[in-house]
Structure formats: C-alpha cells, structure tokens
Amino acid sequence: MLYRASAGINSLESLAAMDSPLHRVHPMAKLLTTLAYVFAVVSFPSQNVSGLTPFFFYPALAMPLASVPYRPLTRRLFAALPFALMGGIGSLISARETAFTLGSVPVTYGMLSFTSIMLKTFFLVFAVLILIATTPFTELVHQLAHLGIPPVVCLQFSMTYRYLSVLLLEASAMLTAYSLRSPGQNGVKMKDMGSFLGQLILRSFDRAGNVYRAMQCRGFQGVYWSSKNKNPRGGDVIYIALFLSVLLFLRFFNLSRFIGELVRQ
C-alpha cells in the first residue's frame, strides 16, 4: 500500500511532465477554471440530474486532449466513493417519495439525489485529477503564492510533497522488515504500533536535521526561490474565456432537456 501510494504520486508526476495542448496552458488558467468548474457543478440543486450531465464535457475532452490515460485516474475515484456513497445511499433510504413514474417504474427523489451525487463525485474527482495530471505540483504551489497564500504555507506544501515518497519508502522498508519477522499477519499489531511509529518519528526527525543541513549548504535562509515564472499568453486568456462561457451556458441552459425535447418532437 505504501509502495503503491509512492508509485501513484510518481505516475501523476510523470503525467504532469508530458506535453500536450492542455499541459501548455498556464497553471493559473487551469487552477482558476478548475475552481470555476467545481463551483458550477456543486451549485446544482441536489436532484437536478439532466442539467448536470453536459458537464461530462470536461473529463471527456480534457482526458484525450492531454493524453492522460483513464486507468490511474479511475483508481483514485474509488477513494472518493465511500463518503459520497454514504450520502447517496442515505438519500435513497430517506427520500422515498415518488417524483414520477417511468412506465410502471417509480422514480423517487432519493434515486435522483443518488444519481446527482454520484455524477458530481465523478466530475469533481476527475476535474481535480486532470488539473494535477497536467500541471506539476511545484508550479501549482507557485500559483498559490501568487494568489496570496503565505510563503510559509506554500513552502510547507512543497516540502511535504518532496519528502512524501522518501518517507513512504522508509515506512515501506520498515513494514517489509516487520512482515518478514511476523509471517501470516496482516498489518502491524496494535501493541507494536507505539514502537513502530515511534521509530519512524525518530528517523523522520533525524532526516529533517539532514535535510536542513543540506538546505543550509545550498544557501537556504527561510525562503525557497523558484526560477520558473511563466507569463500568461493570449491563448491562456482565450482558454479561460472559452471555458467560463461554456460553464455559464451549461449552468443556465439545460442542454440535455433541450436535446431530449428535440428528439421527442
């Protein structure tokens, strides 16, 4: 699990290092449009399903445009499911009044809520993953600093990210050693957790000391400088304008109903 998490971060990092039209869009443009997309999707009433479906446009177009494979992202979708499923199933159970019947099948308000929650989960998880699969994390943090997030917090984001794989591998090695000494057992025994995590903490403290000394050797004085500073281009402005126009159109015009009415007539 620890090794898989480390590999997962590395795979997203390598995806972010690729080149595609979406990768070339300015990180700030992608950050702002993703936030706008999240707000637009979330702002839909809980039982509005048809208005929501056209928002599939973003994952459907962005994934092939950025040449991002579905599988690594789909796997992460499962992490978001438990809480959403709890809300969805809760709605199914508690809102049992019939909204309408399709033929002889009654459709309850709970079913509509469930579908809407699941669609929202899918769209929102993919929106965030597309952002991180097309933008290096360090560049995103750089943009957060431009948005006024304090430098200490931005530095903390970068440092945690940088040492994540190191600590994951360290913990993974410890876990392997533990498993080899306790065959046929899943996980660490609760009574051993104190010394297991305690050892990891002491190692982390020592590592932090080494990291600090290495940073000092490279002239670190409390601020982490980044040389990259991409300026937005005309194309980035067009991307933002186009994206926001589509969002506004889909938010206030029910495209699915319109197409459905066309077909019905």
Partner 1 sequence: MHMADALLSPEVGGTMIAVSAAAVGYAVKKISKDGLDEKKIPLMGVMGAFVFAGQMINFTIPGTGSSGHIGGGVLLAALLGPYPALIALASVLLIQCLFFADGGLLAYGCNVFNMGVCTCLLAYLWIYKPIARRGVDTKNVFFASVAAVVLGLQLGAFCVVLETYLSGVAELPFKAFLFLMQPIHLAIGLVEGIVTSAVLCFVYSARPELLVSTVQETKLTKGLSTKKVAAALLVLTALVGGGLSLFASAYPDGLEWSMEGVAGTAELERDGPVHKTMGGMVGVTAFMPDYSFAGDEEGSSVGTATAGIVGSVITLALTGGLGFAVGALRRK
**Using CB under 8 A, which residues numbered 98 to 157 contact partner 1?**
99-102, 107, 109-110, 112-113, 117-118, 120-121, 124-125, 128-129, 131-132, 137, 140, 150, 152-153, 155-157
Does position 230 interact with partner 1 (CB under 8 A)? The reply is: no
Task: With H, G, I as helix, E, B as strand and everything else as coil, classify residue 25.
Answer: coil
Residue 71: which of 113, 11, 119, 127 has the closest Cα? 11
Which tokens in the block code for residue 224? 């982490």
User: Around Cβ 198, how many Cβ atoms within 10 Å?
Assistant: 10
Contacts 24+ apart (CB under 8 A), 145-148: 146/28
Residue 1 beta carbon to partner 1: minimum distance, rounded to whole angstroms: 5
Q: Of the two residues 24 and 137, which places its CB atom closer to partner 1 in the complex?
A: 137
Question: In the set 179, 204, 232, 246, which binds partner 1 (CB under 8 A)?
Answer: 204
Q: Of the two residues 102 and 180, which places its CB atom closer to partner 1 in the complex?
A: 102
Task: With H, G, I as helix, E, B as strand and everything else as coil, classify residue 46.
Answer: coil
User: Around Cβ 79, how many Cβ atoms within 10 Å?
Assistant: 9
Q: Of the two residues 101 and 231, which places its CB atom closer to partner 1 in the complex?
A: 101
Contacts 24+ apart (CB under 8 A), 108-115: 109/47, 112/46, 112/47, 112/49, 113/46, 113/47, 113/88, 114/88, 114/89, 115/49
- 57 to 96, contacts with partner 1 by CB under 8 A? 57, 59-61, 63-65, 67, 76-77, 79-80, 83-84, 86-88, 90-91, 94-95
Q: Of the two residues 231 and 261, which places its CB atom closer to partner 1 in the complex?
A: 261
Question: In the set 183, 184, 222, 234, which binds partner 1 (CB under 8 A)?
Answer: 222
The residue type at 137: F
Does position 249 interact with partner 1 (CB under 8 A)? The reply is: yes
Residue 147 beta carbon to partner 1: minimum distance, rounded to whole angstroms: 11
Residue 106 beta carbon to partner 1: minimum distance, rounded to whole angstroms: 11
- 170 to 199, contacts with partner 1 by CB under 8 A? 170-171, 175, 185-199
User: Around Cβ 159, how many Cβ atoms within 10 Å?
Assistant: 14
Q: Of the two residues 227 and 252, which places its CB atom closer to partner 1 in the complex?
A: 252
- 98: which strand partners? 108
DSSP letter assigned to residue 256: H
Question: In the set 136, 200, 232, 246, which binds partner 1 (CB under 8 A)?
Answer: 200
